[in-house]
Chains A and B, each alone.
Chain A
Amino acid sequence: MSSENHGKDIAPLSDPGLPAHQHRRTDTDPKAAKKAERQIGILFTISALGALLFIYSYTFMAENLFIFMPIMGSTNAKQLFLGLGMAISLFFIGMGAVQWAKTLMPDHEVIAHRHEFRSDESDREDFVKTVKEGAAAAGLGRRSIIKRTLGLALGLAGISPLLLLRDLGPLPKEDFAKTSWKAGTRLVTDPGNRPIKPSDLEVGGVAQVLPELPNGVVRQLSDVGKDAVLLIRIRPEEFQLDAERLSWTHEGIIAFSKICSHMGCAVALFEQQTKHLLCPCHQSTFDVTRAAKVIFGPAARPLPQLALALDAEGYLIAKQPFNEPVGPSYWERDSA
């Protein structure tokens, strides 16, 4: 241990210095040098051929010619040879240059010296003196009115432009807590926008639905990001729900927000055998039979359940809006 050699007289080995320079074959043998020159010439020629391949592929090759390549399978020839031509033309310029440097350019190692970065004591003193004299000449220390007002002016001038960023976006208000679902809103298919009857969905079936919009209203993606609902039908006896949640289902059809309560991805994978819903982003897994209880993964809350009912024409509707905000957590969210 190094602590033991404290005080012990250490005589380090000595630096034998830079080893003697060894000549390359190309330095001593003109034939070898000529050969190296030819090699470099070949490398540059290959590059030029690559450029020609590039030009040919760009100009003359058919757009929809597909060829079979090992590993890659069926490949668009134009795309492939454009790229290969470019790769060859660039790569071999580099190879030629490096080969040139390695075989023919001088390989004598050179020694340069380093200097400490710290300035001389006298330079430092001079600098401090100059700065002090400059500051004194401006009178920054004495003229307190100037100092204070300038500080105020600079501060305000610096901060006030931040105000310009205010219109980057609206205030969130209650947006995060609201969706387009209201009591009586019909469920419509996505895509298709057709209302749904319970008989449209077989046991084990899944459908993505959205709230029906009043005529003339265009659906925004930001609405889909909160409104998307997954409709799942299982056998009613498989539910393990309390009376209220059971009353939100209809003939084995249960509806959950499709927006993951973890990070907002679409919870899209339904496993029929286990009745599990899986989010492909971070693998949070929800049990459909137990009101989308989290059984695995980083999600901390179940998916909100949408209460279902039938309207007079027999179409599925929302009995009431979601009773909690859908999607990921945020600071103002007020429910467990």
Chain B
Amino acid sequence: MTATERAAGTVANYVDERTGAAKWLKKTVTKVFPDHWSFMLGEVALYSFIILLLSGTFLTFWFDPSLKEVEYEGKYGPLSGLKMSAAYASALHISFDIRGGLLMRQIHHWAALLFMVAIVVHLLRVFFTGAFRKPREFNWLIGIGLLTLGIVEGLLGYSLPDDLLSGTGMRITETMIQSIPVAGSYLAYFIFGGPFPGEIFISRIYTMHILLLPGIFLALITVHLMLVWYQKHTQYPGPGRTEKNVVGYPLMPVYMAKAGGFFFIVFGFTAFLGAVASINPIWLYGPYTPGQISAGSQPDWYMGFIDGLVRMAPPLETHAFGHTIPWNILIPGLIIPGIMFTGMALYPFIESWMTGDKREHHLLDRPRNMPNRTAVGVMSLTFVIITVLNGGNDIIATHFGLTINQIMWASRIGVIIMPPLAFVITKRICLSLQRADRELVLHGKETGRLVMLPHGEFIEIHEELTPEKKWTLTQHEQLAPLAIATEDKSGVRNPKGIRAKLQERVSKASQEQIEKPTSNDILELGDGHH
């Protein structure tokens, strides 16, 4: 036994005698994780969160969350002597006077953008592969919560420097709150401590941004990961992979090295972006004042869909009985996002109702095998992409020589017509892919090799798939649509008559499938097949 081993043994013994950790750890270090590139999307989100905590803590050492007016005396010449808030002055101080301060600010901002990208792409992966199904509905809900909080946290974060751009964003946020019927003006006054901008909101959003929300994040992420751990990871279908097992690599050492290494890769990547790609150059915007603005005002990308919706909203307002209801703000700013997020949160339950499937699932779906779900996903994505694009309509207009008018009308019409179109097209594509899979299994892969038979006929050689490949293409189950009796044998009507009928209809539409090949089909083809 070497000296190191002895020392490690002593420590381990000390800890184990007090906690009994060895029992649990011996199982833990050999825990199996399935391997797939798409499983690292959630990891990217987790790692960018850690990067955010580290870089954010660094920034708090100098940031002064105060709206007290000061005169700028730092190193950045063009703003010298200008009156500004202490928050803005300290953000400039971090950028110009602290070595590595600007780098950390840029890493923090890039990591925030990456965090949101990773969350969204991870969510799409989970959605399209059906990983949200029983027993993982809790984790789906937590994920939606994290996405929502991430948007708020990002908005608060980029508002802290109190520059002209972010102040404008806060003004828009205040207007959204103010537009809420009945309570709006009171809520706005309570949140901002009086008329906007007032003198207190920066310190309030600072507390939210660095304490309250990160605390909730930590709690939710912990539960999210514990559930992943406890419920074991889902896996993609393939030979040897079933609903009853997990096939993959043990945590120690392979997964630890891969996941730990990947953290450094993500951190290195954000540091690279922070080094070479300027982001949010607040010194160019100047301090916030409500009477000024810069052209091309844009929120960060994850707020883009709300901004795009607001921009395309028709100018509707109701004036009645001495009150005003600004629909042009309420609908795009609160009602549609509300529907979007509620719909997302409820989707696992809606799907389970549509399919009548209440069983546990650990094998992921290939998106083509669930045409309806995939089509719903692409439809929603189309909606969001159009709104995000319209959120940058001024930038698109100047870059592509279009008028705002053209883009606005294209978005207004597109946002209504394109999503249903995307649904239909996606569903057809999925069914075609199913048909192609069936062909592949039954007739093999086209090799491109042509052979002339003795009697002159040309045929193409088809190469039979391996049993593994055949299994991967046919392992999924094809549920039959629900058949719910509207009345029982003695003619008593089902009390849930209309609901049952609706469910039956929806189920029939959602379970449209191309029949997958069976052994019988292959036998029927016999030896004569080409």
A: residues with CB less than 8 A from B are 1-6, 9-19, 58, 69, 72, 78-80, 82-84, 86-98, 100-102, 105-107, 109-114, 116-117, 165, 168-172, 175-176, 190, 208, 210, 221-222, 224-226, 228, 258-259, 262-266, 268-269, 280-284, 294, 296-301, 328-336
Contact = CB atoms under 8 A, between A and B. Distances in A.
B310 A111 contact: no
Contacts of A10: 518, 520
A19 B471 CA distance: 12
B32 A112 contact: yes
Contacts of A111: 32, 240, 245-247
B86 to A, nearest CB: 14
A210 B290 CA distance: 12
B193 A86 contact: no
| Residue of A58, A78, A88, A283 most packed against chain B (CB within 10 A) | A283
Contacts of B114: none
B285 interface: no
B453 interface: no
B84 to A, nearest CB: 11
Given A15-B242, A222-B198, A283-B408, A87 B290 contact: no
B324 A329 contact: yes
B239 to A, nearest CB: 5
A294 B275 contact: no
Contacts of A72: 276
Instruction: Give the size category of B's interface with A.
Output: 35 or more
Interface of B: 30-32, 99-100, 102-103, 106, 135, 168, 171-172, 174-176, 178-186, 188-198, 231-232, 239-240, 242-250, 253-254, 257-258, 260-269, 271-272, 274-276, 288-297, 307, 310-317, 319, 322-326, 328-329, 332, 360, 362, 393-394, 404-405, 408, 441, 467-468, 470-471, 474-475, 478-481, 508, 511-513, 515, 517-520, 522
B243 A2 contact: no
A88 B272 CA distance: 8
A190 B291 contact: yes
Given A58-B100, A84-B275, A87-B268, A228 B290 contact: yes
B322 A222 contact: no
Nearest to B246: A112
A58 B99 CA distance: 7
18 contacts: A13-B474, A13-B475, A13-B519, A14-B471, A15-B475, A16-B240, A18-B239, A83-B276, A86-B275, A87-B268, A88-B268, A94-B261, A94-B264, A110-B32, A172-B189, A266-B168, A283-B311, A335-B319
B404 to A, nearest CB: 5
Given A83-B276, A280-B296, A280-B394, A18 B240 contact: yes
Contacts of B470: 13
Nearest to B261: A97
Contacts of A107: 249, 254
A87 B245 contact: no
A172 B193 CA distance: 10
Contacts of B512: 1
B311 A2 contact: no
B247 A336 contact: no
Contact of A13 (B106, B193, B288, B471): B471
Contacts of A284: 315
B184 A331 contact: yes
B480 A3 contact: yes
B168 A332 contact: no
Given A2-B480, A87-B271, A264-B174, A82 B100 contact: yes
B197 A266 contact: no
Nearest to B174: A264
A165 B186 CA distance: 12
Contacts of A69: 276
Contacts of A93: 261, 264, 268
